[in-house]
Chains A and B, each alone.
Chain A
Amino acid sequence: MQTYQDVVCTVCGCLCDDIEVDVDGNKVMKARNACAMGTSKFLSYTHDRIETPMVRKNGSTQPANLDEAVTKVAEMLVNAKYPAIYGLALSSCEAVKVAIELTEEVGGVMDNQSVVCHGPGVLGLHEIGVSTCSLGEIKHRADLIICWGCNPDEAHPRHFERYSYTAKGRWRNGKADRKLVVVDVRQTSTARKADKFVQIDQGKDYELVNALRTALRNEQIQQEKVAGVPVEDIEELAELLRNAEFGVILFGLGVTQTVGKGRNIDGLFSLTRDLNKYTKFQIMPARGHFNVNGVNEVSAWQTGFPYGIDFSHGYPWYNPGETTVTDIVRRGENDAMLVIASDPIAHFPKDLANRIRKSPLAAIDPVHSVTTLVADVVIPSAFAGIECEGIAYRMDGVALPLKKVVEPSQGVLSDEDILKKILGKVRELKGRSG
């Protein structure tokens, strides 16, 4: 039996790096310190695995060898005039780097799960800018934590204990020294723990942000209620924000994916900016998939853009709404799709899922998913952070090394190595060398 210390958990954007994993004979026996989601991943990563590469022949997928599958994917991408490469939020930054190179080589579009997740927040960031910090700063300094449209108690179970509300920091001794405010449309389990719960009408986040900003400027609000919240309560909340010593807003898909999308975050970033006239205030997205931030970061430093990057003209171009995979598929403009570590057929709206199936589809994934069920080519891969190493970015932009604690099955490669093989084959088909 061997015990690995300080293993990074690869479930959510918290990337808890204090997990102790016991391994006996290439099998994970125990994962200490992890939450229920983390424990489940470490103990059941062997379930539902794809055993072998698959290639569709005469209408049904048949087992194939890796070279054959890689060649099929490479041909599919080279023959396409507008291929899309999508996913990677559950993979390593090294794989993202190769995927960008591959997208550039085939003149395609590269997009990641941000498009149906925190991508709209990026749109707010472009126009307003963002005042943000590390999780460590929240732990040691924050006296006011606002969870807006997010439910860390269930989605990021160790967030409070490690980084925020109940964490014992240098200048804040747990929840005795902090206040938790939750803004949500329903009483989530996070809301039940809050010192103040502001229940708002569905899809009215922007209205409340606008009212808070108006109240902060001491302007009169000529309405009785905004977003279902009485104006006196809004003014009281504005006062609470203004009087914090170090406030932080954590936001989730409850604001990024409701009515107004990126403009809701535009409003929240503006609110944070306004609050910095009075006190120290920060804002941070509560990222879901463990390395969705890494895909954004690597894409941004390699191409200048965080998601929805179009290489069709040979240089990176970006405009969510035009170059994002959801919109491309909606307009029916792509003619091939490679999915890596994602399940768009299950997660996208039904009509988009149907359209994806109309053009050649390949999937690289460790486990069976709806996408791998309908894909024309399937290549099994190793789990980053369990069966192979890599780098991932925590939700606050801190890069952490993922550990390999067990060997993958014979012949199963990491996403990075599979993508390198595809890239090599693409270059061979195009008569180019790397």
Chain B
Amino acid sequence: MADITLTAKANPPFQPLDLREISPDNFAGKTPEQIASLPIWIGNHPSTLGAVFDVKGETSATPQDLTITIEGGLPNSRRIGAKMTAGKIIINGQTGIYAGAEMKNGQIIVNGDAGEWAGLAMKGGSIEITGNAGNFLGAAYRGARSGMKGGIIVVKGNAGSEAAAWMSGGLIKISGDAGLMPGIHMTGGSILIGGNCPGRVGASMTGGKIAVVGKTDDLLAGFQIEEIKDKAKIENDKIPGPFYAFSGDNAEAGTGKLFIHKEKNPHLAGYEAFL
């Protein structure tokens, strides 16, 4: 195993920092000096990683054995770990937009908050965010109609709106609250929301599963109740209930499944008349 540490220099630029070069795939087989000379963008100015970070440590020949640790929060960063296929990135601090976008394999751990579009259209691997995630977690790029396809995203805090838009596979676990419209247009995959959600769960979903363990607002009209289940099964986890199980979204002729915690949502008791 090899470790390389990037420590953010004092007074980093406030303009967008395009850091798409930070991935084990790009660092493998390079010396710290070579890594420091990798290209980045500060706004519209081309620069190098060395201008923003002190680079220390050793790299391995292959990305599989490499761990990159980033010390310091850069909320204006873009695309850390984008398209990575192996290895590990640990970010100790806040990270910006597109962390782990389109990643195929490997692991990203964010010890802090992540910005919007973390795990955009990711295909595999794992992202763990110990803080909060921004909007569009694991979602699709605008107009792409293909969001997260595989892999796992775990958020210990809260997530923003439209998590998992156009998701077709994989798993998203949010321990805290989710924003509006989790799983909009999803066609497959699973979402577990440990906390509350303001509403529109599974809007226009045609497949996949969403479980809400906390409270949610009224469901969309396109969902019909099917049964009351003691447990909800999300991938390998069995979440203790009881849960109202719904299918929908009928507005899209969908066959997705919603599990909404019964006791936390007494305002949905009216649905029991349709069982």
Interface residue ranges, A against B (CB under 8 Å): 80-82, 106-108, 123, 126-127, 206-207, 210-211, 213-215, 217, 219-224, 226, 231, 234, 259-260, 263, 266-267, 270, 311-314, 318-322, 331-335
Contact = CB atoms under 8 A, between A and B. Distances in A.
A78 to B, nearest CB: 11
B142 A214 contact: no
A126 B142 CA distance: 7
Interface of B: 13-16, 18, 41-45, 75-76, 78, 97, 116-117, 135-136, 141-143, 145, 162, 166, 180-181, 184-185, 200, 203-204, 218-225, 249-253, 270-271, 274
B145 A217 contact: no
Given A127-B185, A217-B251, A322 B97 contact: yes
B163 to A, nearest CB: 13
A222 B224 contact: yes
Contacts of A266: 204
Given A127-B145, A260-B200, A214 B180 contact: no
B44 A312 contact: yes
Given A206-B203, A207-B218, A263-B181, A219 B45 contact: no
Nearest to A207: B220
Nearest to B185: A127
19 contacts: A81-B42, A126-B142, A207-B200, A210-B251, A214-B221, A214-B249, A214-B251, A219-B250, A222-B223, A222-B224, A222-B225, A223-B219, A223-B270, A270-B251, A311-B44, A312-B41, A312-B44, A318-B142, A322-B97
A210 B222 contact: yes
A128 B162 CA distance: 16
A333 B274 CA distance: 52
Top 8 nearest A-B pairs (CB, nearest first) are A107-B44, A126-B143, A81-B43, A82-B43, A211-B221, A213-B251, A312-B44, A219-B250
Contacts of B251: 210-211, 213-214, 217, 219, 270
Contact of B18 (A123, A214, A217, A313): A313
B203 A210 contact: yes
Given A207-B221, A263-B203, A319-B142, A313 B181 contact: no
A40 B256 CA distance: 54
Given A127-B185, A207-B221, A313-B18, 7 more contacts: A107-B44, A126-B143, A206-B200, A206-B220, A213-B252, A260-B200, A312-B41
Nearest to A216: B251
Contact of A320 (B142, B145, B181, B271): B142
Contacts of A314: 44
B186 to A, nearest CB: 13
Given A126-B143, A214-B250, A222-B271, A106 B224 contact: no
A321 B136 contact: yes
Contacts of A223: 218-219, 221, 270
B44 A214 contact: no
B76 A260 contact: no
Contact of B43 (A219, A231, A312): A312
Given A213-B222, A224-B270, A312-B41, A333 B15 contact: yes
B262 to A, nearest CB: 15
B222 A321 contact: no
A352 to B, nearest CB: 15
Nearest to B223: A222
A314 B75 CA distance: 23
Given A312-B16, A313-B18, A321-B136, A221 B221 contact: yes
Contact of B222 (A214, A234, A318): A214
A166 to B, nearest CB: 33
A320 B139 CA distance: 14
Contacts of A260: 180-181, 200
A213 B219 CA distance: 15
A82 B271 contact: no
Nearest to A313: B41
Question: Most chain-B Cβ atoms within 10 A of its Cβ — which of A80, A234, A320?
Answer: A80
A314 B249 CA distance: 42
Contact of A335 (B15, B162, B181, B204): B15
Contacts of A80: 43
Contact of B204 (A231, A259, A270): A270
Which of B41, B76, B142, B271 is packed against the most chain A CB atoms within 10 Å? B142
A56 B187 CA distance: 56
Contact of A259 (B76, B180, B203, B250): B180
Nearest to A221: B221
A220 to B, nearest CB: 6
Nearest to B184: A263
Nearest to A81: B43
Given A107-B44, A320-B142, A219 B116 contact: no
A417 to B, nearest CB: 26
Contacts of A213: 222, 251-252
